[in-house]
């Protein structure tokens, strides 16, 4: 007689409400963060709670208050993870970090997260340089920003040069210059490199520039006017004319900034517009009573989220790696207004005020941002509809099984095989996805210089080896639906062989060849096992493919030029242990060239300012062991 247990059918693991209900026995009322995961352990949702048990309990049974999105999320939940925190503020900060890191399916997600540039007035030189800076603030100096774009920074730097005549050259250029550069000739620099201005007078100009960037311009204009009058009284008419031109430039700057607020000195203005299941948040940066530009964002949202949830998610994620200003002016309230203010204040150890203004200049600023958000979303929706038609046209033209959501386009760039790089750009339903662009420095030394087939093989091999390692099940959004290769039948055959060897030969691929006379519009398209084809001359799909090919060509050439410029500026000193930029400048100034440094004897190396006896020995050994 068989054991009854042998006939039992294995019970499926509970899902949804039943699975969530099971966790109520193991958690308490602490604040913390929870994660909901599907059957493949992919994170569906990240949330925070003041009371974890109460929040999880709300998911453990059907409720008419659950939106369609929440109901679907619960139904797909196979497991949960929990992390308790000391306070709800800590939970909020952790939640936003996890959302940005994990990109869960059901969270509102800020997709474009680039850093913003600042203006840096350096403090490490007697004649400080003023320049654009992006990234971590590790260099000593005063930072002013953020600016919404590189263009906004460049315009402001241009104004500063015209008014204050500050240098923008690098320290190494400054040290080696023997006569003033073009900037001096066109009255954009005071020529400190060749002694045309004293250190004290230059310091005054730097101080005035800082005042200008801090919004205090009245005193500067008065000082320039007094200097102009004094020069005129002393009959130094050329100097007086120069002062007049600087005052005129400052006046033009101020009149061009007539839209600047009078009562708001430092704030980020954020306005949300939602329509048709899409959202746009417009952000204006107000610093020192000046409008330093704006940027639009299109967070990923579901159709049934409300404005408070979108704004809460956007503000939290926006400031996870940025310093918030003293004031946020919002078009809509947040889910938990005070909690967000406390979290941001704790993040930077000073008070951050969050306001939804109803009247006055603050409300006007928000209204202007809201108008921009509405107009930007309308343009975006129009462009998205056009892009969807083009992607559908690509699928039809190349007989694909589905409309591609991710097209990867590849090209190489080199000069006679030197400084060879490969470039990859990505296009999808929202156009070019620049955050997904990738460059590949060609590493295989066995490739014959100029061998485009060999270079493309290396690029595609590295690309798909990484994809197979990171997402072997092809579940993520980084797997391409179509590859476009710059080349004809030979390129397609070579790349197909590599992909077949890697086990990804099923990914559709098309080679784009210039065709007759290498004219745009006469392109031929090559696919494995099929005859070459062409599209009609005025086909929008053809124009779309040309734009993608031109974009990857631009990206690959730009990457190649950057690599070539770096190689041109490189010297053997770059590889010597212990020799940084400052010591490299000292050595070059003393000996004149890297070759002369390599020939120098030990006693000469010790004589260089800043080179210790130990480092001199290291430099000497480096060159003589190599030789």
Per-residue model confidence as pLDDT tens digits over 338-351: 999 999 999 888 99
Distance CA 202, CA 615 (A): 35
Distance CA 354, CA 211 (A): 27
Instruction: Please report, for residues 103, 320, 593, the alpha-carbon distance to residue 79 in angstroms, rounded to integers and kept in the order given.
Output: 17, 27, 65
Q: What pLDDT, on the 0 to 100 scale, is given for residue 258?
A: 42
Q: What pLDDT, on the 0 to 100 scale, is given for residue 555?
A: 86
Which of 303, 315, 234, 224 is closest to 272 using CA atoms? 315
Confidence of residue 55 (pLDDT cuts 50, 70, 90): very high
Helices (H), 410-533: 452-470, 489-502
Tokens 């921009």 sit on residue: 372
Q: Are 52 and 32 in contact (CB under 8 A)?
A: yes
412 φ/ψ angles, rounded to the nearest 5 degrees: -115, 155
Confidence of residue 290 (pLDDT cuts 50, 70, 90): confident
Residues of the chain with pLDDT > 70, as a percent, come to 88
Distance CA 347, CA 324 (A): 9
Distance CA 74, CA 19 (A): 9
Confidence of residue 256 (pLDDT cuts 50, 70, 90): very low
Name the DSSP letter for residue 384: H
Distance CA 48, CA 88 (A): 8
Q: Are 402 and 394 in contact (CB under 8 A)?
A: no
Using DSSP bridges, classify how beta strands 118-122 and 141-144 pair: parallel, antiparallel or unpaired: antiparallel
Residue 353 has pLDDT above 50, yes or no: yes
When pLDDT is averaged across residues 215-244 and rounded to a whole number, the result is 73
Burial 301-315 (b: 16+ CB within 10 A, else e): bbeebebebbbbbbb
Quote the pTM value.
Answer: 0.70
* Least confident range of 129-138, 158-167, 544-553, 581-590: 581-590
Which of 410, 383, 563, 594 is closest to 491 using CA atoms? 410
Name the DSSP letter for residue 448: P
Distance of CA 591 to the CA centre of its chain: 41
When pLDDT is averaged across residues 375-403 and rounded to a whole number, the result is 91
Using DSSP bridges, classify how beta strands 278-287 and 290-297 pair: parallel, antiparallel or unpaired: antiparallel
Sign of CA dihedral 33, 105, 470, 475: positive
Q: Are 595 and 588 in contact (CB under 8 A)?
A: no
Condensed to tens digits (0 to 9), the pLDDT of residues 258-280 reads 456 778 889 999 999 998 888 99
Residue 4 has pLDDT above 50, yes or no: no
Residues of the chain with pLDDT > 90, as a percent, come to 32
Using DSSP bridges, classify how beta strands 482-486 and 407-415 pair: parallel, antiparallel or unpaired: parallel
Condensed to tens digits (0 to 9), the pLDDT of residues 324-343 reads 999 999 999 998 889 999 99
The phi-psi region of residue 469 (left if phi > 0; otherwise alpha if psi is between -120 and 50; otherwise beta) is: alpha
When pLDDT is averaged across residues 556-570 and rounded to a whole number, the result is 64
Mean per-residue pLDDT of the chain? 84
146: cis peptide before it, omega within 30°? yes
Q: What pLDDT, on the 0 to 100 scale, is given for residue 226?
A: 77
Residue 569 has pLDDT above 70, yes or no: no
Q: What pLDDT, on the 0 to 100 scale, is given for residue 390?
A: 94
Q: What pLDDT, on the 0 to 100 scale, is given for residue 80?
A: 95
Q: Are 58 and 66 in contact (CB under 8 A)?
A: no
Condensed to tens digits (0 to 9), the pLDDT of residues 87-113 reads 999 999 899 989 988 889 999 998 776
Domains, the chain: 12-102 (3.40.1440.10), 118-256 (no CATH), 266-379 (3.30.420), 407-567 (3.30.420.340), 572-626 (1.10.150.20)
For residues 231 and 492, the model is more confident at 492
* Least confident range of 50-64, 210-224, 581-595: 210-224
Condensed to tens digits (0 to 9), the pLDDT of residues 434-470 reads 888 988 887 776 766 667 777 888 888 889 998 998 8
The DSSP code sequence of 69-104 is HHHHHHHH--EEEEEE-SSHHHHHHHHHHHHHHH--
Which of 66, 154, 205 is closest to 196 using CA atoms? 205
Cβ neighbour number for residue 190 with a 10 Å cutoff: 22
Condensed to tens digits (0 to 9), the pLDDT of residues 611-624 reads 888 888 888 888 87
Q: Are 469 and 148 in contact (CB under 8 A)?
A: no
Condensed to tens digits (0 to 9), the pLDDT of residues 136-161 reads 888 888 888 888 888 878 887 887 78
Which of 118, 202, 226 is closest to 218 using CA atoms? 226
Distance CA 354, CA 270 (A): 11
Distance CA 486, CA 482 (A): 13
């Amino acid at each position: 007689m068989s054991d009854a247990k042998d006939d039992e059918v294995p019970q499926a693991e509970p899902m949804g409400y039943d699975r969530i209900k099971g966790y109520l026995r193991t958690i308490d009322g602490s604040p913390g963060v929870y994660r909901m995961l599907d059957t493949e352990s992919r994170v569906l949702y990240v949330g925070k709670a003041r009371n974890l048990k109460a929040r999880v309990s709300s998911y453990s049974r059907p409720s008419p208050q659950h939106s369609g999105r929440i109901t679907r999320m619960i139904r797909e939940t196979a497991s949960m993870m929990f992390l308790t925190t000391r306070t709800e503020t800590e939970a909020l900060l952790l939640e936003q970090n996890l959302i940005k890191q994990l990109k869960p399916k059901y969270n509102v997600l800020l997709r474009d997260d680039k850093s913003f540039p600042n203006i840096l007035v350096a403090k490490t030189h007697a004649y400080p340089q003023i320049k654009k800076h992006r990234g971590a603030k590790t260099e000593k100096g005063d930072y002013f920003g953020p600016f919404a774009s590189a263009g906004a920074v460049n315009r402001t730097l241009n104004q500063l040069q015209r008014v204050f005549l500050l240098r923008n050259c690098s320290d190494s250029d400054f040290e080696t210059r023997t006569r003033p550069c073009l900037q001096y000739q066109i009255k954009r620099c005071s020529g400190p490199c060749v002694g045309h201005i004293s250190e004290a007078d230059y310091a005054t100009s730097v101080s005035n520039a800082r005042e200008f960037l801090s919004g205090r311009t009245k005193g500067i204009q008065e000082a320039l006017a007094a200097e102009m009058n004094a020069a005129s009284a002393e009959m130094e008419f050329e100097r007086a004319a120069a002062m007049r031109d600087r005052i005129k430039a400052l006046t033009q700057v101020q009149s061009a900034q007539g839209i600047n607020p009078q009562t708001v000195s430092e704030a980020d203005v954020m306005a949300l517009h939602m329509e048709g299941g899409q959202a746009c948040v417009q952000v204006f940066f107000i610093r020192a009573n000046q409008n330093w530009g704006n940027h639009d964002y299109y967070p990923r949202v579901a159709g049934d989220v409300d404005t408070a949830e979108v704004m809460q998610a956007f503000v939290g994620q926006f400031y996870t790696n940025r310093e918030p200003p003293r004031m946020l002016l919002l078009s809509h309230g947040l889910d938990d207004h005070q909690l967000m203010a406390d979290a941001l204040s704790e993040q930077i150890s000073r008070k951050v005020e969050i306001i939804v203004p109803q009247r006055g200049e603050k409300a006007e600023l928000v209204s202007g941002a809201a108008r921009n958000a509405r107009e930007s979303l309308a343009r975006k929706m129009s462009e998205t509809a056009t892009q969807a038609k083009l992607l559908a046209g690509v699928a039809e033209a190349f007989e694909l099984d589905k409309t591609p959501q991710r097209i990867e386009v590849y090209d190489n760039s080199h000069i006679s095989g030197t400084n060879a790089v490969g470039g990859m750009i990505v296009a999808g339903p929202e156009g070019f996805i620049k955050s997904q662009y990738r460059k590949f420095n060609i590493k295989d030394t066995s490739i014959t210089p100029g061998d485009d087939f060999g270079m493309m093989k290396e690029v595609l091999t590295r690309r798909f080896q990484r994809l197979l390692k990171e997402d072997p099940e092809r579940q993520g959004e980084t797997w391409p639906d179509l590859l476009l290769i710059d080349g004809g039948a030979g390129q397609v055959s070579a790349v197909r062989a590599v992909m077949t060897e890697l086990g990804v030969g099923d990914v559709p691929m098309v080679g784009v060849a210039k065709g007759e006379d290498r004219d745009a519009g006469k392109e031929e398209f090559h696919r494995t096992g099929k005859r070459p084809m062409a599209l009609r001359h005025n086909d929008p799909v053809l124009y779309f493919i040309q734009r993608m090919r031109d974009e990857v060509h631009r990206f690959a050439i730009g990457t190649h030029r950057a690599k070539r410029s770096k190689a041109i500026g490189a010297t053997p000193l770059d590889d010597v242990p212990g020799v940084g930029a400052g010591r490299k400048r000292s050595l070059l100034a003393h000996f004149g060239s890297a070759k002369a440094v390599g020939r120098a004897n030990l006693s000469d190396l010790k004589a260089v300012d800043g080179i210790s006896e130990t480092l001199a020995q290291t430099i000497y050994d480096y060159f003589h062991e190599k030789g």
